[in-house]
Structure formats: C-alpha cells, structure tokens
Amino acid sequence: MSQETLLILAVVVWLLPLLDFVVLIFLNKRIPRSGDWAGTSILFAALVLSFTILFVKLGAYHDQTLQTTFTWVNFGNVPGVGELKIELGLMIDNVAAIMLVVVSIVSALVHLFSIGYMYGDVRYGRYFAYLGLFTFSMFGIVLTNNFFLMYVSWELVGLSSYLLIGHWFEKKSAADAGKKAFIVNRVGDVGMFIGILILYATFHTFSFDVIFESIKSGTIPFGSEAWLTAAGILIFCGAIGKSAQFPLHVWLPDAMEGPTPVSALIHAATMVAAGVYLVTRTFAMMTADALMVIAYIGAITAFISATIAIAQNDIKKVLAYSTVSQLGYMIMGIGVGAYTAGFFHLTTHAMFKAGLFLGSGSVIYAMHNALHHANDHQTDAQDIRNMGGLRTKMPITFWTFLMYTLAISGVPFTSGFLSKDEILAGTLAYGELTGHWIIPIIGFFVAGLTAFYMFRLVILTFLGEHKDPHRFDAIHESPKVMTIPLIVFAVLSFFAFYSWNPIGAASGWFFHAVERPESVVPFAVAAANNEAFEATLHHVHAWAMLLSLAVAGIGIYVAFSTYYWKKINADAVAHAPVLKWLYKFFLNKWYFDELYQVTFVQGTDALAAAYRWFDNVVIDGFVNGVAKWTIGITYGVKHTWEEGRAGSIFYLTVFAMLSLFIGWQVAIGLLIQGASIVAKIECGLLGLGVSALTFFLFYVGVGGFDNKIVDGMVNLIAYLGGFLGLLMRKLQTGKVQTYLAFVLFGVMVFFLWFR
Amino acid sequence: MAYHFLGIGWLSWITFLPIIGMIIVLLIPKEARSAMKWTAVGITFLQVVISVLVYLNFNYNLSGINTQEGMQFVEKAKWIDIQSVSWFGRLRIEYFLGVDGISVPMVILTALISFIAVFASWKIDKALKGYMVMLLLLDTGMMGVFVSLDFFLFYVFWELMLLPMYFLIGIWGGARREYAAIKFFLYTLAGSVLMLLAMIALYFSVAIVDPATGEKIHTFNMLAMMNPANFQPDSLLVGFGTQMRAFAYLALFIGFAIKVPIFPFHTWLPDAHVEAPTAISVILAGVLLKMGAYGLIRISFPIFPEMAQKYAFALAILAFINIVYGALCAMAQKDFKKLIAYSSISHMGIVLLGMTALNTQGMMGAVFQMFNHGTITAMLFLIVGVIYDRTHTRDLDAFGGLALTMPKYTGIVTVAFFAALGLPGLSGFISEMFSFLGAFQVDKLRIITIASTLGIVLTAAYMLWTLQRVFLGKVNEKWGILLDVDAREMFMLVPLAIIILVLGIYPSFMLNVMTSSVNHLVNLIAQNGSAAALLQ
C-alpha cells in the first residue's frame, strides 16, 4: 500500500465519525432505532481501517513519518516576514498509528456497550451523535501534525465532553458538571494557547516538525532558554486541564455525572489521555526544567488522587480518582524521561480502565434494574456499601473486572504490570540521575495504594454477602451486547498483546515501534540524553521490578485483611484519633472544590458585581451628571428650564438656524473670495438647506415623540407641514437643540480658526 | 468599467437602493402592510445580490488603502466644486466611492444584516410605514459609510445613520426608550462633533495638485490625506508627531471610540441595545459598532500612522479593559439582552487588540473579527428576540429547561453561544486567534495579550452559565410548552449559522479578500509612521 493510500485512509478514518455525527444529529428521529446501528457500524469500519493503517505502517514504513499538508490560510507577502502561510496537515508515525487503534477500539466497543446500556434513553440518538463528534475530534488530536489543528481538536473534544457529561441536563448536577469541565479545561487551554502564541511569534508556523527543526538549529523563542521552558510548560498546561492533573483535576470526578459508557470512553481511556499524548508529541522540545515540572505535577497528582480514592464509596468516584492517579503516573513517566513507558501505560491503561468503567456500568445497570424492580428509589445504585456478593450473579462482569484490577494493580502476566514496571524503573533512574528521589518514592507508594483501593473495590462489590437478599435475587448478568466488550477488554489486558516476554516490555513490538525522540533543545538545558537514561534504567530495572511486586503484594494483602478477612477494622482505623482527621480530609477530596469555590468562583462573582456597580453608578452617574449640569448652566436654574422652555425654544431655533446659515456663508465666502455670484448663491442655498434640514431633524428628534409627528414624518407632504407647524406653534420640549446651538457655534469658531 | 447598471455604478446602487425603497414605501398606502414589508425585503435582497456580485468580482491582488488604482468599483464625480481661484485654492468635495479588502467584508455584512433585520421586523405593529422608512434610511447611511472614500461624504453618511437610529430606538423601543435614545444620540453627537473638527482641520491642511490646471486644491479625499507629502507647509496638521496632530488623532479617536464602543465611552450601548427592538439591536451590534473600528482602520491609522504607533500601547490597555471588563459586566447581568450587549463590548475589545498590533495577523484578525462578531452577535440578539416574543421577558432566571421544549431553538443557540465563546471550528475562534497572534508578536503588547486571554475563560464561563440557566435544568412550568422556532425565525438564523460554520472551517473565503489590503495597510503605517514621515 502506498504512502498516499495510507494517508487517504487516515483522512477517511478521521472523517467517518464526523459523518456519523452530522447524519445522526439531524436525522436521529427519522431513522430506525435512532441510528445506533449506523454509529456503531461506522465506528467498527473505522476500527478496521485503523488496524489496517497500524499494520501497514509498522510493516512497510516502520521508521518513516508520513505527512500530508495543505495551505489553509495564505497571509500573502507579510511586511517584515515575507510570504507567509498557515499549512495544516496530518501525519502518521508509529505513535499516531497506535493511538488511532486505541481510540478506535475503545470507541467502537463503547458504542456497542451503549446499545445495551443506553437503550430507551430520552436522547438516545443524540447520544450516539455526540459520541461520533467526540471520536472525530479525538482522531484529530491523534493525527494532526501541527499545534493549530491540535488546539482545534483539543477544544472540540472539550465540547463533546461538555455535551456528553450534560447528557441528562435536566439534573442540575449534570449540567453543573458539564459546565465545570468545560471551564476548568479552558483554564488549561488558555495556557496552551499562550504556549502556542510563543511558538508562533518565534517560528511563524504551527508545524511540529518545522518548530522542532528550528529549535534544533538554535532558534529559540525570544532568544531565551527561559522562554523555551515557559513555552513547554504552557503547552503542558493544556495537558494539565485535559488529563485532569493537579491543580485542575477537580472536573474529572464530577464528570462522572455523564452516562457510564461516556466515562469509559472519554473520562478514562481516550480524552483524558490526550494530555499524555500531547506531552509525547512535544517531548522533543521540553527542556530539563520543563520535564521536571511535568514529572512533579504527575507525581503530585498521582499521590493526591490515590489518597482520595481510598476513601470514596461511589464505585464511579473510586474509578475516577484512580484514573486521575494513573494519568498522573503517565505524565510522571514521561516527565522523568520514560517516554515509551508513559505512552505504553496510556495504551494498556486505556484498555483496562475502559473495561473497569464498563464493568462498573454493568454493575450499576444491574443494581439499577434490581432497585427499580423493588421499587426502591432511595438506595444509591452506585454506592459500593450497598453491594457485595455480586460475583455469583454476574460472573462475566466479575471475572473480567478482576482481570482489569489485576492489571491496574500491576500483577505479573498483565499488561499493567509491564507498563507500570517500566514507569517505576524510569522514576528510579531519574532519581539516580538527578537526585529527585521523592518522585520514585511517590511512584512506589502510589502503586501500593492503587492495589489496595482497587481490591477494596472488588471485595466490597463482588465478594462477601450482598446487603439486601431480596434485592440480590433481582440482580442479573447484563446482556451480551454489554458483556462482549467486557470480555474483549479483559483479553486485551493480557501481556501477550504487547510483548512476548511477561516480565519485559522492552522485548515487545511496542517498545520497538515507539522510541524516545532525541531532544532538540540546546544541550545546556536538555534532560539526560537517551544513552545515559537507558544505561541508568538498565542498572535499576531489577530493583524496580522487585519493589513494584512487593508494594502491589502489600496493597492487595492489606485490602484482603481489611475487607475480606476483616482482620483490620476499617471503621476503627477511620475513627482513630489522628487518622480521623486524615480520613475526613481524604473523603472530602482535600477540600479542593471548597477552596476553588471561595477563591475563584466567588471572587469572580464579586468582581463582576463590583464592575456592574461601577458601570451603572460611577460611569453612568458621571454621564447623567454631565447632562444635568449642562442643562443647569444653559438655563441658569432648574425652574427656568421647566417653565421657560416653550419660549426659549423658538428663539433658540431661530438663533441656531441663523448661526448655521451665517456660518456657512462666512466659511464659503472666506474660502472662495473670488467666486462668482452664482456660485456663492448656490453655496448659500445649499448651506441654508443643510442647516434647515439638520436643524429640523434634530428638533423633531427631541420633541417629536407623539404620533402626530411620527405620521408627519412618514408622510412626505406632512413632513414639511409638520416642520412648519412645529416651528410656528413653538411647542414641544427640547434638549438637543441647545447642545446643537452650542456645537454649531463651536464649529463655526473652529472653522474660522483652522483656516 | 464594466461594473455599471443603467450607467450607475454598483456601489451607488447598493448605497442608494434603500432610498428608492424608502420612496416606494412612502407611496404605499398605510393599509398595505405586507406590501411595505416585501418592498423592504426586495430592496435589501437586491443589496445582498450586489454585495455578492462585488465579492465575486473582487480582484484579490489589488490592495487599495491609499491608492485610487488599488480601489475597486470606483466611482468618482465632482459633487461640490467651486472653480473660482483665490489665495486659498479651490473647494472640492467629491462623490468618491470605492472598496478594498477592508471594506468589502463590511459591505457584505451590512447587506446581510439589513436583509435579516427586515425579517426580524416582521411583527412591528406601530407605524410600520415610518419604521420601514427609517430602517431603509439607516441602511443607506451604513452602507455609505463603508464605501465612501471622501471624508466629507463619509461624515454625511455617518450623520445620516444617526438620525433614523434615534427614531428607531426612541419610537419603537422598550420602556425606557426615550432615555436610551437621547443617550445614544448625545454620545454619538459628541463624537461626531470631535470628528468634524478633526475633519475640518485635515481639510485645511491637505492639498493636492489638480492635474488639469496645476493648481493646489484642498480636498476631503481620504487617500490624499494618507500621503504625508500632501500636507501643506505651515498648515495645522503638517509635520510628524506634533501636538496638533496628537489632538486631531485624539479627536478622531474619541469620535470612533464612542461607536466601537471603547471603555469608558460605552455606557450608551447597554441601554440602547436593551431598549431597541430586536431588529435594531441586531443592526446596532451587527453593523454600527463596526463603523467605529472601521473608522479607526480606514481613517485614523493611515492618516496618523505615527500616532497609531505611539498610542498603540494605550489602545491595547483599553482593549484589555474592554475584553475583561465587558466580560465581567456581562457575567453580572440578569437581563438576557444586556448580557449580550456587554459581551459585544468584550468582543469588540478583541478587534481593538488585533488592530493595535499593527501587523498582518493582528489587523486581519481585527477585520475578520468585525465580520464575525457581526454575524455571531446578530444571531445572539435574534435569539433573545425569539424568546422575548414568546414570553415578553428577558429575565435570565425566569426560564430553564428550554432545551426540552424548544430543541431546534436550543440547537441554534448552542451554535451561537459556542461561536461567541470562541470554539474552534466556528468563525469567532479564527479571528480571536489571529488577533491574539498578532498582538503577541509585538514586544510591548505581550503582557497585555497574555492578560487579555483571561477573557477567553470568562467568556466561556458566562456563556455556559447563561446556557445552563435558560436552557438546561428543569422546565419552568410558568411558560408551559413554548412554540419552537418557526420558519421565519429559522430563515433568519440558519444562514448566519452556516456562515459562521463555513468561515470557521475555511476562513480563506473571507481572508483572501483582505490579505493584500491588510498587508499594504500594515506596510503603509510602518513606513509613514517612521522613516518616510521624517522627510517632512
């Protein structure tokens, strides 16, 4: 298959979901089953094409990057720069090809799952349309070869996320969550936007390649390495928003208000991984400082969210915080320089986390139906304290869920073990190279916490006894359309798909295909180069593996002791003197929401109110004051204005007309001293006409509000009659003509003066 | 010249067609209401047709700005010409029309918005005849401003537009219409007077040699004013960076700033918008505000290039205030229309930010943002009109859940709102991005640009909050089932939505028109602002 064909295929894959969106958003009420089959089959077609692209890419063009561009905007010959264009385009490298498949798999399976989960929903068709829009935008992020299209797709992904989180917008919490997600993401996006501005101002292009080449050849933003670091960190701000990193992680748990398959697709596997993808895309231009910031942000995020996850009771909230934590892991991995490992974890995590969410969806679906059956509208279908013992009733869901849990906990023979181990080894190497040992310490600690809270979730949900035997009877395994995706994801959580060696990811095709790019930044500010990093990595790898097995084992053991064997009393621990405070702190998510509420949200509201007051009272007060003041001066005292206006209007009228006329005459006369009499008369008449018309219009403008004048105005004959009548009757009120008289007088003076 | 019909140029047709329409409407008996409406429809439709013809026949390579050869569809005739010789020279006011890449987008916008405004006026009851007459007169005034190349002519059209607008707000407006109309009138009049002063000063300073006779004549020709060599020795505004020139620039600036409107001259706008009937709000926000920005680009900057450079920083600060202050004020509003009005202030700030950059991206962003804001905000005001027609309230807290009862309406609203908050894929984003790109490239504007990006977040916040309050959540039972948008409303809204979408995906349809003019303008300001002017 030629390169061109491959690129055309990529464009087709990109546009297919858009077609899906356009068709479904307009026609969903007119086609059978609201078009769920159309959306799903389109996605499966995209999946097949994505696989084709991946295989051909890895087979025939393993080390090449395929690109295509077109001129989108032509700025022409720009002063100071020369010919300038904005070229946009797509590119397929191994990272893009793999990501394309990841997104297609998750999206296709989530479509399939949704047919079961969402069936009968009020906005069923629109739901599938939005899924299409999301997939289109996500493909855009994956395939772009420039920052512009990246930003565009980035925000469109935000839009689809907004629409899908708010799918059940009747619920205030859902509408709030959608809004919060969009706005918090926007904060990150603005950072990214400024980063792009820095790069564009320097390089006059958006293209990744051209920018990296220029940096490599020594051109850096505003000639300063600090700006280069700043650009890197600002671009990373986009990832902080989208991948829910500290301090912008607060939107993701709320986003669980959306339908569960959406959580699986967008808020676990793909969109939130876009941030990680962005960092891999821009890795080459990150300076050592920027990478350090990235690594720390990742580590802090992983730590904070893991501590929150252990205290949550809502099945989706646990998974949400787990997602935030794992994203922090990936970001940390790339930050320390374990580029391939970070991206690998993205891939493996996409599979098992999508599975976890769909599995939780299956559980919620069953709980919901059982509660519905029992006519119980009080009990929370998502609270794990209401569950237990589901293993026997929902075997497929249980076994697949267990597989995902093993993977996320880093148990050998799973994909998660491979990727996590590589990241942890990377952090150790980073510690060794830079002395930032806190990062590997957090890494291993969080690995233990992850194993603990995930097994806590499995035990409380599936093992032990169900809380309500009556309800238990009504629980059933979900339909095939939902369990098949679960099985597929479970299979994909097995190590063999990524590497033939169960304890060595580096032996697999993945590590061969995705190689860490050489940094392009100036040597002085670059992180450790690939060789140095690889050497250190090799040196610490065995330790990393042993340690990661140990912490995972401890985490799992503690979870079983506490929740299964009940050797440790969880309640007692949570209420112990010091731990009580800590537990509350974790349960309330470190009080981030409350903090942001009182600072940013209320601060903005207060500022807005203050500005509104300023506008209405100060500025308008000044404007109105000037008006009153002027009237006062014009008429001496107020009562004169009130009583004397009828009389004064007439004289003002005459005065103004005369002055205008004389003004014209004087001006023209001075201008054209030698003009013929005819010309002077022409000018004079023109002047008179203009002044009369102007004056009349202003006059009526102020006084003529009653219908008599309106009618007079609209009728051409009455037009003049009304004017004369008005003038003669000397009635109506007027303010403008006073101004006008002064203004015209002023103009006359100026006219003479400027001459 | 091929661009004639019946011996009259296209630009004259597009400008004065509404006057013909006005006369026809005046002759139609009072009872024949639909005849009046359809006359207005026909006339404005013809304008749209001509504007499309202008667009299609536009030569992208000609740049215009300061050369008559670069202008297109030029019509030039003596209007007032006093032949007599004196020590002072000759008085000449020309009927000089022409368009370049800066004005074509505005011409198209004006034609489009006027056409839509006629449909938006369909339900006017009170004195329909007067209303239509005023609307058409307003149309001529607006169009004239964008095609005039003679300053005096420009001024005449500028003032011409003021009057019908005053009546349209004052007679057909809402409860506080008199206050709003007077306020609008006085604000604009104050600006006009300052502009008049600057214009007269320019007139007496600039003279060109008449090729026929070799004598020097004073002129209102804007193109002549852009050439520093035409300023007469010892005249008021001769020189480079003199105090007098600063005064004149400032006078012009305030005249235009009031129209834009730029903080702190903006308080007429919320009142005027809120009190005006829907169609007039649409025209106000869609076209009138652009006249101020257009005046700055067309007149102030190229005639006073050194002042444009000198005050770029100050103007950028005002732009920042517009963006952030407007957005925060919008956030605090409870009246739907007032919120949109303040959002206009915020969005016009982006136009200003772009133009202060005085480079290609920024200027292009500014002109394009003028067009996009015209279409987007027109949609927003129409949207408010739709809901106001049905419920007679604009209180943002009085609604809720309209997405359930009015799905089509909500879909359109979503497009408009996201366009307003600068969602990529819709036209507003491109122009915002270019404005920011341009400003960021200028060293001294960098910090202001970064600060202004705050507006991006604030806009998203108040737009989404509004969307939630009005359209999401539970249905407010008070209104029962409201009728979804009807065919007429769809006919107004959908074309705008399509334009917003198409230009958002492929902006070159409009950008190509501007490219060479913008580059030329940027060049002109850079050269005349520094080196060339030193020759004086």
Provide the pLDDT for residue B51. Answer: 94
The identity of residue A658, as a single letter, is L
- Where residue A168 falls (left for φ over 0; alpha for ψ -120 to 50; beta otherwise) is beta
Rounded to the nearest 10°, the torsion over CA A746, A749, A752, A753 is -100
Cβ neighbours for B318, distance < 8 A, ≥ 6 positions apart: B257, B262, B263, B349, B352
CA B432 vs. chain centroid, Å, equals 17
Q: How far is B404 from chain A (nearest CA, A)?
A: 9
Inter-chain contact A194–B453, Cβ cutoff 8 Å? yes
The answer to whether residue A227 neighbours chain B at the CB level (below 8 Å) is no
Interface ipTM: 0.92
Kindly give the pairing relationship between strand B4-5 and strand B72-82: unpaired
Distance from CA of B133 to the nearest CA of A (A): 7
Distance CA B363, CA B348 (A): 13
For residues A167 and A130, is the Cβ–Cβ distance under 8 A? yes
Residue B128: per-residue pLDDT: 86
Q: Which of A324, A342, A517 has the alpha carbon at shortest distance from A426?
A: A342
pLDDT score, position A735: 43
Looking at residue B182, its pLDDT comes to 75
10-residue mean pLDDT series, chain A (755 residues): 88 93 86 82 93 91 88 87 88 92 92 88 88 93 93 93 91 91 93 94 91 89 88 94 91 90 87 92 91 94 92 91 92 91 92 92 89 83 86 91 93 90 91 90 93 92 84 86 91 88 81 86 80 85 89 92 85 82 85 88 87 85 69 44 41 51 55 52 58 52 39 39 39 42 52 48
Pairing of strands B91-99, B8-9: unpaired
Note the maximum CA span of chain B: 78
Helix (H, G, I), strand (E, B), or coil: what is residue A748? helix
The model's pTM: 0.88
Show me where the domains of chain B are located: 311-505
Most distant CA atoms of chain A, gap in Å = 117
- How far apart are the C-alpha atoms of B184 and B442, rounded to whole Å? 35
Cβ pair A183, A600 in contact under 8 A: no
User: Distance between CA atoms of A557 and B480, rounded to whole angstroms?
Assistant: 59
CA B502 from centre of chain: 21
Share of chain B above pLDDT 90, in %: 50
Query: Residue A643's pLDDT is what?
Result: 40
What CA–CA distance (Å, rounded) separates B26 from B14? 20
What are the helix (H) ranges across B173-259?
177-205, 222-225, 243-259
Average pLDDT for B196-205: 82
Cβ count near A724 (within 10 Å): 10
Residues of A in contact with B197 (CB under 8 A): 747, 750
> Do A170 and B472 count as a contact with CB atoms less than 8 A apart?
yes
Q: Do B364 and A78 touch (CB under 8 A)?
A: no
Secondary structure tally for chain A: helices H, strands E: 32, 2
Closest CA to B291 of B315, B264, B257: B257
The CA distance from B97 to B154, in Å, is: 10
Residues 67-96 of A with CB under 8 A from B: 72-81, 84
Chain B residues lying within 8 Å of A153, measured CB to CB: 424
pLDDT at residue A646, rounded to an integer: 40
Which residue of B171, B457, B464 is in closest CB contact with A190? B457
* pLDDT at A505 (0 to 100): 76
Name the helix (H) or strand (E) containing B96. Answer: strand B91-99
Chain A hits for B401, CB-CB cut-off 8 Å, are 170
- Whether the CB-CB separation of A75 and B364 falls below 8 Å is answered with yes
> Angle at Cα A485 formed by Cα A484 and Cα A488, nearest 5°?
90
Answer whether A183 sits within 8 Å of B460, measured CB to CB.
Answer: yes
Give the type of residue at A626: V
- Quick check: A636 contacting B, CB < 8 Å? no
Instruction: Assess whether pLDDT exceeds 50 at residue B513.
Output: yes
With CA atoms as reference, the chain B residue closest to A203 would be B441
Alpha-carbon gap, residue A70 to B416, rounded angstroms = 29
B243 — pLDDT class (breaks 50, 70, 90): confident
CA dist., res. A355 & res. A507, Å (int): 26
pLDDT in tens, B271-302: 899 899 999 999 999 999 999 999 999 999 99
**At what angle are helices A124-143 and A147-165 packed, to 10 degrees?**
160
Q: How many Å apart are CA A342 and CA A385, to the nearest integer?
A: 34
User: For position A687, what pLDDT does the model report?
Assistant: 57
- Which 667-706 residues of chain A touch chain B by CB within 8 A? 668, 670-676, 679, 683, 686, 697, 701-702, 705
**What local confidence, expressed as pLDDT, does residue A653 receive?**
47
A83 CB-contact burial (10 Å; exposed 0-12 / middle 13-18 / buried 19+): exposed
CA-CA distance, A435 to A428, in Å (whole number)? 10
Residues 6+ positions from B356 with CB-CB distance below 8 Å: B312, B313, B315, B316, B319, B362, B439, B445
End-to-end CA gap in chain A: 79
The rounded distance, in Å, linking the Cα atoms of A515 and A98 is 13
DSSP alpha helices (H): ranges in A673-715?
A: 677-703, 707-714
Inter-chain residue contact A176 with B86, CB threshold 8 Å: no
Q: How many CB atoms lie within 10 A of CB B252?
A: 25
Buried/exposed A689-707: b ≥16 CB within 10 Å, e otherwise: eebeebbbbbbbbbbbbee
Residue B172 has pLDDT above 90, yes or no: no
At B97, which helix (H) or strand (E)?
strand B91-99
Pull the structure tokens for residue A194.
């400024």
- The residue of chain B with its CA nearest to that of A152 is B424
* Partner residue facing A608 (CB), from B264, B331, B454: B331
CA distance B22 to chain A (A): 10
Residue A305 CB coordination number (10 Å): 28
Convert the pLDDT of each residue in B438-447 to its tens digit: 999 998 899 9
Between CA A595 and CA A585 the distance in angstroms is: 13
Task: Please list, residue by residue across B389-398, b when 16 or more beta carbons sit within 10 angstroms of its beta carbon and e when fewer do.
Answer: ebeeebebeb
* C-alpha pair distances (Å), A275 with each of A238, A254, A360, B84, B383: 7, 18, 24, 75, 36
The model's pLDDT over B417-437, given as tens digits with 9 standing for 90+, comes to 999 999 999 999 999 999 999
From the list A645, A668, A665, the residue with the least C-alpha distance to A736 is: A645
| Distances in whole angstroms, Cα of residue A233 to Cα of each of A219, A443, B116 | 18, 22, 46
The pLDDT value recorded for residue A701 is 44
